[in-house]
Amino acid sequence: VSTRKKQIHLGAHFPGVNNTTVWSDPQAGSQTDFSSFVHFAQNAERGLMDFVFLAEGLRLREHRGLIHDLDVVGRPDTFTVLNALAAVTSHIGLAGTINTTFNEPYELAKQWASLDHLSGGRAAWNMVTTSDAFTGENFRRGGFLERSQRYERAAEVVAVTRALWNSYGEPVEHHGPQFDVSGRFPLPPGPQGHPVLIQAGDSAEGRDFAAATADAIFTLHGTLEAGQAFYADVKGRLARHGRSEQDLKVLPGVTFVLGDTDAAAQELAAHIRRQQVSPQTAIAFLEQIWGRELSSYDPDGPLPDVDPDVDNVSISRGRVRHVKDPRVVAQEWRDFSAARGGLSIREVVIEKTGRQSFIGSPRTVAAEMDLFVQGNACDGFILVPHLTPGGLDRFVSDVVPELQDLGSYRTAYPGPTLRDHLGLRHPHAVPLTPSTRQESA
């Protein structure tokens, strides 16, 4: 086996609060009990994965003005779970989503530095930005942030937190458009210098922000060609910021279904899609597009003849909204149904929303994943299983050895810190320099 083959990085996303997670399966366990997180993280560590990943949204989703009740609802606090997981794991990275709009930089810097110390250098921060007044109703700050200011604020959050992380022993003085922070930071840099920074978001702004700032980008998965184009685009932006291609890992989020044979996996995948799209969920998806109450429609019947209400854009809140014109989507769905011999509402939703990324025997899935990585469509994947807590079990026992046989996956952790696993440089901790200071706007 050539030692020069590009190595695959893997993150493990704890199943979250959307319909990808199948709570109705007999094997589905608690989404809240710590034992579920322990099982998941320890299994990912057995599989030598780079990190476990916890998502977070700061307001429960609503649909038609009511709390959305069809998917998993609720989860424990990200920082607290990650610190607790540090106690029961030894190597795996501990990644979490923390919002840059509803947290203050000083507090964030201390929380991330604390996790980094308490985990021996395994922390990773997935920065998300939001301009969402709906979520803001839960916070002092209130909520509204101009969409155009989201990345401005995020960039300033990063600048301030990095200045604080680097400042031990010296006072920090920061005055910028979003923040005025002055004083001393109580902690020296942790074992990996700085926590790893992950940026999620595929927009041009998001790509630039990632190229300037992040260590990894959590992106969408698509075709090999689309992945290659995205990869080339993002990596091509790095030089402008004085960074090399090794400094930013491209990690699409992917789902997978494994079977003893490819045919068995396809059968299981269809079964899981039906679990993910219950009759009630099919109607809820339809209502999101149509902007109307459609509860009288039969999920096993045809799509509505009535057109979407394009003015009612806020029927579903607390999740990423469709940006396409709903009338166009509705017509696409009707055409799709007709072309396939008259698919029902539920069948259309099953086909049009989120088919699994990799389906097959462990060998097939390993080979396809390797194709994406060796073909420079990505540097690895963030795996999103559909079951809590055992959704990774078979991947670890059956796919990881196949990846190792291909020579594309580690057989031991390369070091103690997450930066070691990801092949990232440890930032040299330096005192705050004048160039990182910002004058008042």
Partner 1 sequence: MSPFTEARMHLAVELPAAGRHPAAAAWAGLDAARLLTPAHHESLVRTAGHRGLDLVFIPDTFVADVPVLEAVAVAARVAPVVPGIGLVPTATITHTEPFHISKSIATLDIVSGGRAGWEPTVSRTPAEAALFGRKPAAPPDVLWHEAADAVEVVVRLWDSWEDDAVIRDTATGRYVDRDKLHYIDFVGEFFSVKGPSITPRPPQGHPLVAVRADEDEALPVAARWADVVRIAAPDLDAARDARERVRAAVADGGRDPDDVTVLLDVEVHLAADAHRARAELAELDTHAGAPLEPSSVRLLGTASELADLLGAVVRVGAADGVTFVPLVLPTDLNALAEQAVPLLAGRGLFRTGRSGSLRSRFGLSRPANHFAAHSTAPTTPGARS
Chain residues that interact with partner 1, rule: CB under 8 A? 23-24, 32-34, 38, 56-60, 66-67, 69-77, 79-81, 83-84, 86-88, 102-104, 106-107, 110-111, 114-115, 117-120, 137-140, 142, 179-184, 186-188, 278-281
Degrees (nearest 5) of the Cα angle 388, 393, 424?
95
Tell me how far, at minimum, the Cβ of 332 lies from partner 1, in Å.
Answer: 25
Tell me how far, at minimum, the Cβ of 178 lies from partner 1, in Å.
Answer: 10
Q: Which is nearer to partner 1, 49 or 181 (CB)?
A: 181
Alpha carbon distance 419, 294 (integer Å):
49
- Six-digit token pair at 279? 């009759």
- Six-digit token pair at 256? 């997978």
Q: Which is nearer to partner 1, 175 or 321 (CB)?
A: 175
C-alpha distance from residue 328 to each of 70, 303, 341 (Å): 26, 14, 20
Give the residue carrying structure tokens 């769905």.
Answer: 333
Alpha carbon distance 203, 183 (integer Å):
35
Q: Which is nearer to partner 1, 139 or 336 (CB)?
A: 139
Q: Which is nearer to partner 1, 120 or 375 (CB)?
A: 120
Q: Taking the mean position of all CA atoms in its chain, how far away is CA 32? A: 19
Q: Which is nearer to partner 1, 5 or 437 (CB)?
A: 437
Tell me how far, at minimum, the Cβ of 428 lies from partner 1, in Å.
Answer: 18
Alpha helices in 166-292 (DSSP H): 204-213, 224-238, 262-276, 279-290
Tell me how far, at minimum, the Cβ of 321 lies from partner 1, in Å.
Answer: 20
Q: Which is nearer to partner 1, 144 or 335 (CB)?
A: 144
53 φ, ψ (degrees, to nearest 5): -135, 130
C-alpha distance from residue 232 to each of 121, 246, 372 (Å): 30, 13, 13
Give the residue carrying structure tokens 């705050």.
Answer: 432
Tell me how far, at minimum, the Cβ of 308 lies from partner 1, in Å.
Answer: 23
Tell me how far, at minimum, the Cβ of 327 lies from partner 1, in Å.
Answer: 28
Strands of 316-317's sheet in order across: 66-67, 62-63, 316-317
